[in-house]
Chains A and B, each alone.
Chain A
Amino acid sequence: MIKEIREPLIFEISAAGKRAAELPALDVPENKNLLAGVALRRELDGFPEVSETEIVRHFTRLSQKNYCVDLGLYPLGSCTMKYNPKINERLAAHPAFAASHPLAPADLVQGSLEVLKRVEGLLCEIAGMDAFTLQPAAGAHGELTGMMLIRAALEARGNARKYVLIPDSAHGTNPSSAHICGYTVKEIKSNANGTIDLASLEQGMTDEVAALMVTNPNTLGVFESDICRIAEIVHAKGGFVYMDGANMNALTGIVRPGDMGVDVLHINLHKTFSTPHGGGGPGSGPVGVKAELVPFLPAPVIVEKDGRFVLDLDRPRSIGRVRAFFGNFSVIVRALCYILSLGPKGVREIAEYAVLNANYIRKSLEGLYYLQYATASMHECVFSDKLQKEFGVTNLDIAKRLIDFGVHPPTMSFPLIVHGALMIEPTETESRRDLDIFIEAMTTIAKEAKENPEVLHAAPHCTYVRRLDEVAAAKFPVLRWEKKP
């Protein structure tokens, strides 16, 4: 990230007549009456005209303004920013897969179908579920799918019910997904340990409640130790337990959600199974279910018949499709590669070292930063800016100053139950050296907060742009480039 690099918008360097791509001459006789009577456009008004050199420079310069996992620790809590193996990129782009068409006859895409079927099986084993659908394109999409499955199962029993219980520590997608599924959300308060309060749950869990959506470990990085009792309470009233598997990275090979009473869960392949985040997507959010919910899975379902993979479209009780085609296929190929690379021992080591690294950071920063919940941490720990507030320093200042030390900031201001939160998730792939660079930076910043808070308020100091005016961006939205009149 070189501060001096400046790069205009492509539209600002465009000049008439330049080209970066040529096509072969048309090899069929030209039809002069082509599209007669159809409204055609005169030109692609505003589209850029640049050379190939300019394209390559433009995107290379822009790339250098991004921080990324390949550069260093990226401890965004709840996002699981682990290293993305390069071989998985190459294999996901394998010509046999990249060129396979989703509407091709099943006979011609047996390899693609086998990839999907194999990943379903591997995820069933890892999560302890009976079946998986790979259609959902992301975690939130998986939540929506999972809640629709629950609704369908309840409708089949005769009553879809009205409410969904969600802890106050949950990610915003949980209530939003439940809402789109037609449910009213009831929040349940966390207790002093930061976990679900059993008394509140028992009180809230009526026969009007469809499901509890629980994240485990929760967004504080704390394992819901009462999970088996929680599931009993929900099941006793005929409800379902939905687990948001965003934090599955803490559990792989240690414990399976299906063994602790979870009926439905989604897994983020872009978190736990290392598929790259790509600057905000694509992800993949497969949903696993227990037997009762299998008939409702999105159609089609891939089945193996006489050694061949075929699509079963005859699913009368299915909730229907949640996405065209088969989901984010090449993301799923990467997850397959990852699981095959690691094997059973490696999959367990994901959780072991993710939890070790998080606890190493926690112990190293305890005392320097305020820890609202002293409960044992799993794969992430949530500090806050309470001690630094005394000197007028906020979590935003701390985050921005970290950038000056070459480290990406943690997740901020989430979960909502911790004011001024700094949610730190190192993941298992990090080296001691990179963990220590982060710890040293945080230690220095704690000292600076006392001695020289101005340097924090003005941070970051070494980036191409300084702190940006987000209020103005929302108040006077400029959402596209426009040609000057």
Chain B
Amino acid sequence: MSYLSLSDKDKAEMLARTGAAKIDDLFCCIPEAVRLKGPLDLPAAQSELELVRTIDALGRKNAYGGHLSFLGGGAYDHFIPTVVDYLSSRGEFVSPYTPYQPEVSQGTLQIIFEFQTLICQLTGLDIANASLYDGSTGAAEAVLMAHRVTSRDKVVVARSVHPQYREVVRTYIKNLGVRAVEVGFGPDGRIDKDELARVLDDQTAAILFQSPNFFGVIEDVQGLSDAAHGVKALSVAVVAEALSLGLLEAPGKLGADIVTGEGQSLGNPLSFGGPYLGFMACKKEYLRQMPGRITGQTTDTEGKRGFVLTLATREQHIRRERATSNICSNQALCALRATIFMETMGKQGLRELARQNAQKTAYAADRLAAVPGVKRRFTGAVFNEFVIGLPKAWAAVDAALRAKGIVGGYGLLADYADLGSAALVCVTELRTKDDIDRLARTLQEVLR
């Protein structure tokens, strides 16, 4: 299939205008010695119908869809209202680029402005950017931001932060002379406050914690923020499950200085991990250190309200190596989906959705804890995920569950060997009571 639009006559006439005898002549500036002498070794071109068959065949190799799944861990299976797909697939949203020309980009710009407002409302902070790549890079950017704000080189990272997020943070900071010190968790699954007190000092730029954390446990955001502020460090909250903000108090109201996280839950499909959207909000005094694009309100020459990308002097295309980040784009289309999702769910719907997640999870946690041999691993309150401890190796339990069509959770052995045989179980509004009962029943069978 070709997507070219020129007729043979067009080509000939256009080539004549360029003065070249043939198309190859247009490439004369490339040294002959390195030019390809033959065609690339690529599969033969496919028509639309052949392509559909190819992709369908690849899709059939994904057996995951046939299972009842309780996976979470930073990627959540939520209901997406039809209007999200319908509206976000409009060519006017899908096919433009960055709104560099605001007069012909007011749609995208107003939506980003609404997105920024919604993120401020969710996080309880003053300002938000137009989105970052995802939750993990958001966490890394927040750490670098705290390093710039405080001019300090140490960051305290909770071990209960998503393991992959921590890994990304380590990758980002290691060449900048910033070091991460990890703090463990107590029997409630929350940060171990005694250990925290021991590592906090006047070199600490920030405490990076996640709430609900990787175990689903809700952290004491106010207590952690107070501890950070006690040594003049920033309190940086990561929210990997954005939906939790529909029910839990906004971290910004509990002392967090920067709140960053993953917005996938808000209207974006699992899609094997991406594209997702990172969000970031902060107190207004840190505006000049914020990474990424920001949209602002202004007026046109006739006094009419309009929106533009603004405060670009923070960004790489103006400031080059002195920019607040090297990020150049945002996840506009994912942020659009999140905006449509949040506005469709609305004030009542988002709260109700969050409440149902928490209720179903509480039910599931009780049901599983009643299975002989299964224990809740942590005592702390959870949102829509919890950790269970098992009397047998998770690998065997997982295999037995899968044989019965269930993906029961995410095994924690690789990331938290100290927890023994344990799995993270996630329950969203998409799992019915019957689904949860089936998991409990099947788990009981396979443990027998």
With both chains docked as a complex, state the minimum distance between the C-beta of A470 and any C-beta of chain B, in angstroms: 5
* Bound-complex Cα distance A432 to B15 (A): 12
Check if A370 is an interface residue, CB within 8 A of chain B: no
Structural contact, A66 and B320, CB atoms closer than 8 A: no
With both chains docked as a complex, state the minimum distance between the C-beta of B285 and any C-beta of chain A, in angstroms: 13
Check if B418 is an interface residue, CB within 8 A of chain A: no
CB-based nearest B residue for A17: B348
Sample of 16 more A-B contacts, CB < 8 Å, known A35-B381, A342-B45: A23-B79, A44-B121, A48-B343, A55-B87, A99-B64, A126-B42, A173-B316, A254-B35, A325-B274, A339-B42, A340-B51, A360-B14, A403-B103, A408-B101, A463-B103, A469-B300
Structural contact, A320 and B171, CB atoms closer than 8 A: yes
Within 8 A of A (CB), among B281-316: 287, 293-302, 304-308, 310-313, 315-316
Check if A4 is an interface residue, CB within 8 A of chain B: no
Structural contact, A460 and B343, CB atoms closer than 8 A: no
Structural contact, B221 and A21, CB atoms closer than 8 A: no
- Please indicate which of the listed interface residues B4, B11, B113, B334 has the most CB atoms of chain A within 10 Å of its own CB: B4
Q: Which 8 A-B pairs have the closest CB atoms?
A: A325-B273, A343-B45, A278-B333, A96-B59, A102-B273, A182-B175, A282-B275, A111-B61
Contacts of B13 in A (CB 8 A): 432
Query: Quick one: which of B52, B89, B98, B114 contacts A10, CB cutoff 8 A?
Result: B114
Which of B152-160, B196-204, B264-272 interfaces with chain A? B264-272
* Bound-complex Cα distance A273 to B308 (A): 29
Structural contact, B55 and A432, CB atoms closer than 8 A: no
Contacts of B48 in A (CB 8 A): 87, 341
Structural contact, B319 and A172, CB atoms closer than 8 A: yes
* Bound-complex Cα distance A353 to B134 (A): 35
A-B contact count (CB 8 A): 661
Which of B227-235, B245-253, B369-377 interfaces with chain A? B245-253
Which of A232-240, A383-391, A443-451, A471-479 interfaces with chain B? A471-479
Structural contact, B321 and A125, CB atoms closer than 8 A: no
With both chains docked as a complex, state the minimum distance between the C-beta of B55 and any C-beta of chain A, in angstroms: 5
Structural contact, B272 and A97, CB atoms closer than 8 A: yes
* Bound-complex Cα distance A274 to B95 (A): 10
Structural contact, A28 and B58, CB atoms closer than 8 A: no
With both chains docked as a complex, state the minimum distance between the C-beta of A272 and any C-beta of chain B, in angstroms: 13
* Bound-complex Cα distance A225 to B287 (A): 44
With contact pairs A278-B332, A324-B165, A331-B275 given, residues A69 and B249 touching in the complex (Cβ less than 8 Å): no
Structural contact, B40 and A26, CB atoms closer than 8 A: no
CB-based nearest A residue for B329: A281
CB-based nearest A residue for B270: A101
Structural contact, B334 and A108, CB atoms closer than 8 A: no
With both chains docked as a complex, state the minimum distance between the C-beta of A40 and any C-beta of chain B, in angstroms: 6
CB-based nearest B residue for A18: B346
Check if A247 is an interface residue, CB within 8 A of chain B: no
Query: Quick one: which of B113, B272, B315, B327 contacts A9, CB cutoff 8 A?
Result: B113
Which range contains the number of A residues in contact with the other chain? 35 or more
Structural contact, A364 and B17, CB atoms closer than 8 A: yes
Beta-carbon contacts of A163-187 to B below 8 Å, as 1s and 0s?
Answer: 0000000011101111111100100
Structural contact, A281 and B333, CB atoms closer than 8 A: yes
Beta-carbon contacts of B336-354 to A below 8 Å, as 1s and 0s?
Answer: 1000101111111111110
Structural contact, B30 and A255, CB atoms closer than 8 A: yes
Contacts of B23 in A (CB 8 A): 352, 355-356
Check if B414 is an interface residue, CB within 8 A of chain A: yes
Query: Quick one: which of B85, B111, B346 contacts A50, CB cutoff 8 A?
Result: B346
Check if A368 is an interface residue, CB within 8 A of chain B: no
Within 8 A of B (CB), among A430-456: 430-432, 434
Contacts of B298 in A (CB 8 A): 468-470, 472-473, 478
Contacts of A288 in B (CB 8 A): none
Contacts of B414 in A (CB 8 A): 313
Structural contact, B111 and A62, CB atoms closer than 8 A: yes
Contacts of A48 in B (CB 8 A): 343, 346-347
Structural contact, B274 and A331, CB atoms closer than 8 A: yes
* Bound-complex Cα distance A114 to B272 (A): 12
With contact pairs A48-B347, A138-B329, A359-B26 given, residues A68 and B92 touching in the complex (Cβ less than 8 Å): yes
Contacts of B312 in A (CB 8 A): 474
Within 8 A of A (CB), among B24-83: 26-31, 33-36, 39-46, 48, 51-52, 54-56, 58-65, 67, 69, 71, 73-75, 77, 79, 81, 83
Check if A306 is an interface residue, CB within 8 A of chain B: no
* Bound-complex Cα distance A99 to B172 (A): 30
21 residue pairs from A and B, CB less than 8 Å apart: A20-B343, A23-B356, A38-B248, A41-B248, A52-B344, A62-B106, A65-B107, A97-B271, A101-B270, A137-B274, A255-B35, A255-B36, A323-B134, A330-B272, A333-B55, A342-B2, A344-B40, A356-B15, A429-B4, A477-B294, A480-B120
- Please indicate which of the listed interface residues A89, A180, A284 has the most CB atoms of chain B within 10 Å of its own CB: A180
Structural contact, A343 and B351, CB atoms closer than 8 A: no
* Bound-complex Cα distance A30 to B60 (A): 39
Check if B130 is an interface residue, CB within 8 A of chain A: yes
Beta-carbon contacts of A289-324 to B below 8 Å, as 1s and 0s?
Answer: 000000000100000000000000100000111111
Check if B118 is an interface residue, CB within 8 A of chain A: yes
With both chains docked as a complex, state the minimum distance between the C-beta of A454 and any C-beta of chain B, in angstroms: 13
Check if B445 is an interface residue, CB within 8 A of chain A: no
With contact pairs A21-B344, A35-B247, A480-B128 given, residues A464 and B106 touching in the complex (Cβ less than 8 Å): yes
Query: Quick one: which of A39, A227, A254, A465 contacts B222, CB cutoff 8 A?
Result: A39
Which range contains the number of B residues in contact with the other chain? 35 or more
CB-based nearest A residue for B116: A480
Contacts of A339 in B (CB 8 A): 42
Contacts of B353 in A (CB 8 A): 23
Beta-carbon contacts of A351-393 to B below 8 Å, as 1s and 0s?
Answer: 1110111011011100000000001101000000000000000
* Bound-complex Cα distance A137 to B144 (A): 18
Contacts of B20 in A (CB 8 A): 359
Contacts of A321 in B (CB 8 A): 136, 164, 167-168, 171
Structural contact, A281 and B330, CB atoms closer than 8 A: yes
Structural contact, A112 and B46, CB atoms closer than 8 A: no
With both chains docked as a complex, state the minimum distance between the C-beta of A482 and any C-beta of chain B, in angstroms: 8
With contact pairs A66-B96, A89-B94 given, residues A44 and B218 touching in the complex (Cβ less than 8 Å): no
* Bound-complex Cα distance A122 to B54 (A): 15
With both chains docked as a complex, state the minimum distance between the C-beta of B126 and any C-beta of chain A, in angstroms: 8
With both chains docked as a complex, state the minimum distance between the C-beta of A142 and any C-beta of chain B, in angstroms: 10
Structural contact, B326 and A180, CB atoms closer than 8 A: yes
Contacts of A26 in B (CB 8 A): 355-356, 359-360
Contacts of B325 in A (CB 8 A): 176, 180
Contacts of B35 in A (CB 8 A): 254-255
Structural contact, A177 and B2, CB atoms closer than 8 A: no
Contacts of A399 in B (CB 8 A): 101
CB-based nearest B residue for A195: B29
Structural contact, A7 and B71, CB atoms closer than 8 A: no
Query: Quick one: which of A55, A255, A280 contacts B332, CB cutoff 8 A?
Result: A280
With both chains docked as a complex, state the minimum distance between the C-beta of A139 and any C-beta of chain B, in angstroms: 7
Query: Quick one: which of B61, B274, B351 contacts A327, CB cutoff 8 A?
Result: B274
Query: Quick one: which of B64, B117, B349 contacts A23, CB cutoff 8 A?
Result: B349
With contact pairs A47-B342, A322-B168, A480-B128 given, residues A280 and B97 touching in the complex (Cβ less than 8 Å): yes
Check if A328 is an interface residue, CB within 8 A of chain B: yes
With both chains docked as a complex, state the minimum distance between the C-beta of B177 and any C-beta of chain A, in angstroms: 8
* Bound-complex Cα distance A363 to B144 (A): 47
Structural contact, B346 and A320, CB atoms closer than 8 A: no
CB-based nearest B residue for A414: B317
Contacts of B168 in A (CB 8 A): 320-324
* Bound-complex Cα distance A38 to B346 (A): 23
Structural contact, B133 and A110, CB atoms closer than 8 A: no
Structural contact, A465 and B306, CB atoms closer than 8 A: yes
Structural contact, A172 and B316, CB atoms closer than 8 A: yes
Structural contact, A7 and B363, CB atoms closer than 8 A: no
Contacts of A360 in B (CB 8 A): 14, 17-18
Check if A200 is an interface residue, CB within 8 A of chain B: no
